[in-house]
Amino acid sequence: MPNLDPIERFMQQMAVSEAAAPVPSAATIWWRAELRRRLALEERAMRPMRIAEGIACALGTLAAVVVAGHSGALAALHFLIR
């Protein structure tokens, strides 16, 4: 192996390190898969609530702007910005 280019040397080192890597147990693989499944279910269940929360924030902001506009607060802010 004296005349190996750096990429070939790296590839051989990776092959040796992967062969020596411990294989996770079946219980560990199952636990990870179960955790991933539960997180996916949680994300799916929370999606409608997150959408509703975004809509509520947008409507609340819009309502605040409308109320501020009717009370003249926007005119006062516009005067201060100039």
Q: How many angstroms separate the CA atoms of 62 and 20, rounded?
A: 60
Average pLDDT of the chain? 85
The pLDDT assigned to 47 comes to 97
* Residue-wise pLDDT tens digits, 3-27: 678 888 888 888 877 667 688 899 9
Q: pLDDT: is 62 or 75 the higher one?
A: 62
Angle between the N-to-C axes of helices 73-81 and 26-71, in degrees from 0 to 180, rounded to the nearest 10: 90
Q: pLDDT: is 1 or 49 the higher one?
A: 49
